[in-house]
Amino acid sequence: MATLLLCLAGPLQSWGTTSRFDERDTQLEPSKSGVLGLVCAALGRDRAEPVDDLAALRMGVRVDREGIPMRDYHTATGVVVASTGKPNLNRTVVSQRYYLSDAVFLVGLEGDTALLSRIHDSLRSPWWPISLGRKSFLPSRPVYLPDGLVTTNLLTALQSAPSLVVDASDETSAGKTHRVVLEDNAEGAVRFDEPVAPFADRCFGPRFVKTFNLATGGDDVSRATDA
């Protein structure tokens, strides 16, 4: 058993789990479906391929910097009408799209060592471009962490990993407290972001997560994430 750590940092991120039609939501931290979609892009795994092995990984998120929730106002014309199957050029659709600004997350995936090792190598040289929830939302730092594959459990890895964000006034990142969202097999709040079929089928099931504050320690790695 091992844990793989990823750095998800960027000016814009969006991790929707309940988006329907013209309103696109975002959670306050990365969704499991979104992270596994990122992993599939790195591996070069097609949307029609099974993701059972990836879904079996246990995920945790440490929030090193909370994102600022924001909203974009979009309009679109030429939307296809269901009754005719043809675009209506005279119809304008308004879409509300939510996202996080300036968030930084440390994401951990716990599971089979061989699988995590393949993912780790792929993140260093992704097959397809990596994005943070939407194709236009690119990471501002490498998702790949050189020392991201560790032989500890998920909680220990999230607790012992150095902070990805250090304030200019801080001499060290030790002793900071971060919000953590940890997947639990038995109980917790329900999130419907567990892939239960290939991504092309858009089928997601429930999983349990627990949210709590965690004291962490270590040296700054914000400049040590180059591939």
Residue 212: other Cβ atoms inside 10 A: 9
- Residue 78 in domain: no
162 has a pLDDT exceeding 60: yes
Whether residue 168 is contained in a domain is answered as no
* Stretch 80-86: mean pLDDT: 76
Q: Cα(218)–Cα(172) distance, rounded to whole angstroms?
A: 8
Q: Which residue has the higher pLDDT, 43 or 74?
A: 43
Quick check: is 225 in a domain?
no
Whether 204 is covered by a domain: the verdict is yes
Determine the residue type at 40.
C
Residue with tokens 């194709």: 135
Which DSSP helix (H) or strand (E) runs through 42? helix 32-43
Task: Give the residue numbers spanning the domain of 137.
Answer: 2-67+100-160+179-215
Strands 23-24 and 86-111: parallel
In a domain, 55, yes or no: yes
pLDDT at 42 > cutoff 80: yes
Residues 202/208/214/217 CA torsion (nearest 10 deg): -50
SS3 93: strand
Most confident of 5-19, 34-48, 65-79: 34-48
- 172 in a domain, yes or no? no
Q: Which amino acid is at 206?
A: P
- Show Cβ contacts of residue 199 under 8 Å, excluding neighbours closer than 6 positions: 33, 37, 40, 47, 51
57 occurs within a structural domain: yes
Residue that has been written with the tokens 């979104």 in this structure: 34
Give 65 or 219, the one with higher predicted confidence.
Answer: 65
CB 97 within 8 A of CB 91: no
What's the domain count of the chain? 1
pLDDT at 25 (0 to 100): 74
Whether residue 137 is predicted with pLDDT greater than 80 in this model: the reply is yes
Report yes or no: 59 and 109 within 8 Å, Cβ to Cβ: yes
What is the distance between the alpha carbons of residues 193 and 35, in angstroms, rounded to a whole number? 10
In a domain, 44, yes or no: yes
Q: Residue 205's domain is classified under what CATH number? A: 3.30.70.2660
In this predicted structure, the answer to whether residue 163 has a pLDDT above a threshold of 50 is: yes
Q: What is the pTM of this model?
A: 0.83
Query: Using alpha carbons only, what angle is made at residue 178 by residues 173 and 184, rounded to the nearest 5 degrees?
Result: 135
Kindly indicate the confidence band of residue 22, based on its pLDDT and cuts at 50, 70 and 90. Answer: low
The Cα–Cα gap between 49 and 40 comes to: 10
The pLDDT value given to residue 175: 63
Question: How would you class 215 by CB atoms within 10 Å of its CB: exposed for 0-12, middle for 13-18, buried for 19 or more?
Answer: exposed
